[in-house]
C-alpha cells in the first residue's frame, strides 16, 4: 500500500491502527493485465494465530473475494432468538393521531402528484 506517499491513505492507515487493528488481507484483490491493487480489507484486533485470512481466486472477474476464518474460541455465541419489546407506557393516542395526520398532509401537499401520494400513503408503498 502506498501509505507513505498519499496523505489520505496514511490517515486511513493511522485510523485503523489507532484502534489496534491489524490488516489481514495483504495481497492484491483486484488484478488486471496492467495492475494489481489491494482494494478489499479485513481488520481485526485478534492475534494472527487466531485468524486465517484468505483470497478466493477465480476466472470470473478481476476482483477477488476475501474471507477470514476465526478460531471458535474467539467467536461469541450469538443469541439466535430475537426479542422485541414495545414500551407503550408513555403512548399518547391523540398525539400519535395528530402527528400521523400532519405527516400525511405534508406528504400530499409537498408532492408533485397529490393523488399518487395519497394512494401511496393509503397502501404504504
Residues 109 and 60 occupy one common structural domain: no
Residues 63 and 112 occupy one common structural domain: no
Residues 65 and 114 occupy one common structural domain: no
Identify the domain containing residue 97 by its residue range. Answer: 93-123
Residue 38 domain-assigned (yes or no)? yes
pTM: 0.50
Residue 56 domain-assigned (yes or no)? yes
Place of cell 398525539: 95
Residue 32 domain-assigned (yes or no)? yes
Each of the 125 residues of the chain gets a pLDDT tens digit; together they read 455 677 888 888 888 888 888 889 888 888 888 888 888 888 988 888 888 899 988 777 778 888 888 887 655 666 667 667 777 788 888 887 888 777 777 777 777 777 776 666 555 43
Q: How many domains does the chain have?
A: 2
Residue 101 CA neighbour count, 13 Å, CB half: 6
Question: Are 15 and 43 spatial neighbours (Cβ–Cβ below 8 Å)?
Answer: no
Tell me how far CA of residue 35 lies from CA of 6, 46, 52, in angstroms.
18, 31, 26
* Cα–Cα distance for residue pair 10/106, rounded to 1 Å: 47
Spatial neighbors of 19 by CB under 8 A, at least 6 apart, are: 45
Amino acid at each position: 500500500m502506498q501509505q507513505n506517499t498519499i496523505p489520505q491513505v496514511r490517515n486511513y492507515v493511522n485510523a485503523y491502527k489507532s484502534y489496534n487493528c491489524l490488516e489481514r488481507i495483504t495481497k492484491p484483490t483486484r488484478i488486471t493485465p496492467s495492475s494489481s491493487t489491494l482494494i478489499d480489507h479485513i481488520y481485526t484486533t485478534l492475534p494472527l494465530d487466531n485468524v486465517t485470512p484468505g483470497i478466493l481466486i477465480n476466472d470470473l472477474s478481476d476482483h477477488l473475494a476475501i474471507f477470514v476464518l476465526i478460531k471458535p474460541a474467539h467467536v461469541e455465541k450469538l443469541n439466535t432468538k430475537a426479542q422485541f419489546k414495545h414500551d407503550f407506557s408513555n403512548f399518547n393516542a391523540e398525539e400519535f393521531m395528530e402527528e400521523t395526520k400532519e405527516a400525511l398532509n405534508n406528504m400530499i401537499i409537498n408532492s408533485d402528484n397529490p393523488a399518487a401520494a395519497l394512494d401511496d400513503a393509503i397502501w404504504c408503498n
